[in-house]
Chain A
Amino acid sequence: MSKYIGASVKRKEDGRFITGRGRYTDDIVLPNMTHAYIVRSPHAHAKIKSINVDQAKAQPGVVAIFTGKDMEADGVGSVPNGWQIGEDMKEPPHPPLAVGKVRHVGDGVAVVIAEDRYAAKDAAELVEVDYEILPAVTDGAKAMEKGAPALHDEAPDNVSFVWELGDKDAADNALKNSHRTTKLEIVNQRLIANAIEPRSAIGDYDAGRDELTLYTSSQNPHLIRLLMCAFVLGIPEHKVRIISPDVGGGFGSKICHYPEEIIMSWATRKIERPIKWTAERSESYLTDAHGRDHHTTAEMGFDKDGNILGLRVNTVANLGAYLSTLAGGIPTWLYGTLLAGQYKTKSIYVQVTGVFTNTTPVDAYRGAGRPEATYVIERLMDTAAREMNMDPAELRRKNFIAPDAFPYQTPVVMQYDSGNYEPALDKALQMINYKKLREEQKQARDQGRLLGIGFSAYIEACGIAPSKVAGAIGLRAGLYEGASVRVHPTGKVMVYTGSHSHGQGHETTFAQVAADGFGISIDDVEVVHGDTAQIPFGMGTYGSRSIAVGGNAIYKAIEKIKEKAKKIAAHKLEASADDLEFADGSWTVKGTDKSVTFAEVALIAYVPHDYPEDLEPGLEDNAFWDPKNFTFPFGTHICSVEIDPDTGKVKILKYVAVDDVGNVINPMIVDGQLHGGIAQGAGQVLWEEAVYDDSGQLLTGTMMDYAIPKADDLPSFEIDRTTTPCPDNPLGVKGAGEAGTIASTACIANAVIDAVAHLGVKDLQMPFTPQRVWNAIHGNGNR
């Protein structure tokens, strides 16, 4: 019986956060700890002619200064690329501190280690680097042009890979034979995740035991350990412990393995003292992996009734200066495979070119590939509806995959697990009072007001899986999740998960699963995450995989323990295990009142005074869950916006979201994930953009220049759900962390364009800043 699953249980972790007792990496102080400051390149592209550290080294408080050459001489490897895209992929080396050449502003050149952060920063200013400045290129398409500056000897044309998926001939034919086609040029601009906690890393080497502990604000400590041990430092995993304590947001930017983690881990062994590095925000802007940055042309063909026949997509993905951990997989496998959306598109072909430029490396940002795919499809759908003079809701409805068609095989690899798309659309239409809203829009136009309505019917792929598929598509890791569950003699339960929580509330959600599994109070469950020494193995948190993969691993471990516990209960009750049933935290002999509670069994498990020989004491187990497929949440979001014609400023009037994330463990937490996701999508549409000048300087390098949505910029959101359980996992869950962002970007963009389309504005590129919108309204083009 579910007491906790499905209930909005208040979060167990909140107590420490609201009282200032959270423990983030930068909060940690170790005895004899030093502080690091990294000297970074002010140039986007330059040869390092020399580095002089003499004057800096002589400063008070300086402990050591190292450069890339010191690390190279010590045999430290390249920051690894975790995802191979095709056998011809160009994977140039990425030294943790630059050697010979810098390739983006912020590329690390030297690390200064001192007694305190002020001393380190003072000394860093005295490190003299002699650069020979080279021409730079920041735009993906321009980097492919003949004569563009080449970043790496290994990729003289700056192309890392060209990837394609789908049947090109079939898509070409479908478009040729279409009654009409809709074509768009789409810029999915570069974004910066802006987790409010800047990244931090503390290296702590214990020379006596030859053991290294790295505290790092990472979304996946085990993966960082694997990468660092196997590919970079060459030290064995059992000598390395990675701890990611409380982490203040990640949004994808804390997935990748960063140079600073390597530098602190290597340098602490050199000086045999702990070293802390914490980014300043301006440093975060230059060195946290950026997101998106696609330039796409897309064509969708329809028959005369509005049925989609084919889709052809060509995307240039700007990867930045180096391949970040998952850089290759995001604009390819996590993007191209989602281009069917919710629609029964017969033929799809997509080509993606991954390009190096003199910009910060690009990696996952909330949704990672899926928002980009949804943006392409849903912008095309709204545009096509307008061109065909059809209602955008009805064009979508007509093309939805039917509920009896699941599991549904798309033309681009994916097999959707379950779905029922119309009820979500209908509910959203009802919530926003669509008919009335369209009438209001007409009236508003008559009064010269600019009111727009936008749609987004999205699909998400969560819990990337299974491992054999991951391997087949070049991902250099498995994609299961690990869990360990330990029952103490007093009946208290520890849950150790390989997922990592950085705001998602795992300590509560996972405890709900365990409390219901054992029929105990949630107060008797403690969830532990983020420590490789405590948790057998894990893959971390990204891609909305925590409940879909991590939650099911916990479920599986609980089931194993219950099998064992049942034998103990049978022994205690002097009954056959087959005659026992488990309910409300007790095993009962069927048809009798003879029973034993979970807590009693727990005690007997560790006090086995009268055990028979074949019964093993103890009550704990590990499990790994390797899903058989991705999960595919979906939904429809609709919003209305009003534009001030005098200023071009967009105001979101109403935002409704109907999401189907399968079964829900904690509705409050799921709603919270959706709220945050919608806000981030809104940020991309209306304000956010990483802007470089032609020399490769990041112009949006502080929070004063990069516009994150504030409370004042957003409305409250109206959220509802339909429930189509996932058939492939016992909890029936799908995942919810990224849905909001995946849906809202296209939704709000479509609304803005709907508001101004009657003025002759056919298209706009994000972000739809007041200036851009005003210019579009007044016929001055996009900028």
Chain B
Amino acid sequence: MTHTINVNVNGVAHEAQVEPRVLLVHFLRDDLRLTGTHIGCDTSQCGACTVLVDGISSKSCTMFAVQADGREVTTIEGLAKNGELHPLQEAFREEHGLQCGFCTPGVILSVYDFLQHNSKPNEEEIRHALEGNYCRCTGYHNIVKAVQKAAE
């Protein structure tokens, strides 16, 4: 049995038939071929699958695609506008805030949401905001610097 859903992803309207059990992350990756959103764990700990749902950072492995019906989703592919990188994307490159890059889309989108609510965070606040994202490469040192830079 499938359901019809209407989801706006990165400004593009999609109508799709999905099984009710299909996770949003699988819908984005397998059906829409937006593979920038990654899967790192089964338990919503790693944050690699973080996207924005109606502007709020959400773990797309903890949501069914049917729950996104009628909502707006932004993935990492939708962050750059008119060929211009988002300042967060620029800052991650400038400050070497990524290595293998696998966790990076999720980190960027969760920080995107955080900076909407706290535009001038200190180091402690940034570290706390990254609670939902694992990075195994950078030791977080340069991720913190990248967020500080983007906030400037």
Listed in ascending order, the chain A residues whose CB lies under 8 Å from chain B are 10-11, 13-24, 26-27, 29, 116-118, 193-198, 246-249, 251, 278, 280-282, 502-505, 668-669, 671-673, 675-680, 702-704, 708-712, 714, 716-717, 740
Contacts and interface: CB of A to CB of B under 8 A. Distances in A.
Nearest to B75: A20
Contact of B139 (A13, A21, A247, A675): A675
Nearest to A501: B100
Contacts of A194: 134, 136
Contact of B36 (A13, A14, A19, A714): A19
B42 A280 contact: yes
B101 A246 contact: yes
A294 B127 CA distance: 33
B3 interface: no
B71 interface: no
Contacts of B102: 22, 24, 195-197, 248-249
A707 to B, nearest CB: 10
A246 B137 CA distance: 14
B93 interface: yes
A216 to B, nearest CB: 15
Contacts of B134: 194, 196, 703, 708, 710
Given A10-B94, A249-B100, A196 B75 contact: no
B5 to A, nearest CB: 17
Contacts of A503: 99-101, 137
Interface in B87-139: 89, 92-94, 96, 98-105, 108, 123, 126-128, 130-131, 133-139
Contacts of A504: 99
B138 A196 contact: no
A456 to B, nearest CB: 16
A712 B37 CA distance: 24
B73 interface: no
B9 interface: no
Contact of A678 (B35, B130, B139): B139
A768 B77 CA distance: 41
A711 B143 contact: yes
Nearest to B139: A679
Contacts of A18: 76, 85, 89, 92-93, 98, 101, 104-105, 108
Contacts of B139: 675-680, 709, 714, 717, 740
A711 B19 contact: no
Contact of A27 (B35, B46, B142, B144): B35
B21 A118 contact: yes
A27 B37 CA distance: 10
15 contacts: A11-B96, A14-B101, A17-B100, A17-B101, A18-B108, A19-B79, A19-B89, A20-B34, A118-B19, A246-B100, A281-B43, A504-B99, A710-B134, A711-B127, A711-B130
Interface residues of B, number: 58
Given A246-B100, A248-B40, A710-B127, 18 more contacts: A18-B85, A19-B80, A19-B85, A20-B34, A20-B36, A20-B105, A24-B102, A194-B134, A195-B136, A196-B38, A196-B137, A246-B101, A247-B100, A708-B136, A709-B139, A710-B130, A711-B131, A712-B127
B141 interface: yes
B4 to A, nearest CB: 19
Contacts of A196: 38, 40, 46, 48, 100, 102-103, 134-137
Contacts of B43: 281, 702-704
B96 A672 contact: yes
B69 to A, nearest CB: 19
Contacts of B26: 117
Listed from nearest, the 3 A-B pairs whose CB atoms lie closest are A20-B36, A248-B102, A17-B101
Query: Which residue, A13, A18, A248, A668, has most C-beta atoms of chain B within 10 A?
Result: A18
B135 A675 contact: no
Query: Which residue, B39, B92, B126, B143, has most C-beta atoms of chain A within 10 A?
Result: B39
Query: Which residue, B79, B140, B144, has most C-beta atoms of chain A within 10 A?
Result: B140
A134 to B, nearest CB: 29
Contact of A17 (B98, B127, B136, B141): B98
Contact of B141 (A280, A675, A710): A675
Contacts of B33: 29
B45 interface: yes
Contacts of A19: 36, 76-77, 79-80, 85, 89
Contacts of A678: 139
B63 interface: no
Nearest to A716: B141
A251 B142 CA distance: 19
B13 interface: no
Query: Which residue, B19, B38, B123, B131, has most C-beta atoms of chain A within 10 A?
Result: B38
B14 to A, nearest CB: 17
A704 B39 contact: no
Contacts of B38: 24, 196-197, 248
Given A504-B99, A716-B141, A14 B46 contact: no
Nearest to B34: A20
B95 to A, nearest CB: 9
A221 to B, nearest CB: 16
A502 B103 CA distance: 13
A676 B136 contact: yes
Contact of B99 (A26, A505, A709): A505
A16 B22 CA distance: 27
A703 B100 contact: no
Contacts of A711: 126-128, 130-131, 133, 135, 140, 143-144
Interface string B64-78: 000000000001110
Contacts of A193: 136
A11 B34 contact: no
B144 A675 contact: no
A72 to B, nearest CB: 31
Query: Which residue, B85, B96, B143, has most C-beta atoms of chain A within 10 A?
Result: B96
B145 to A, nearest CB: 8
A243 B18 CA distance: 32
Contact of B35 (A10, A20, A669, A710): A20
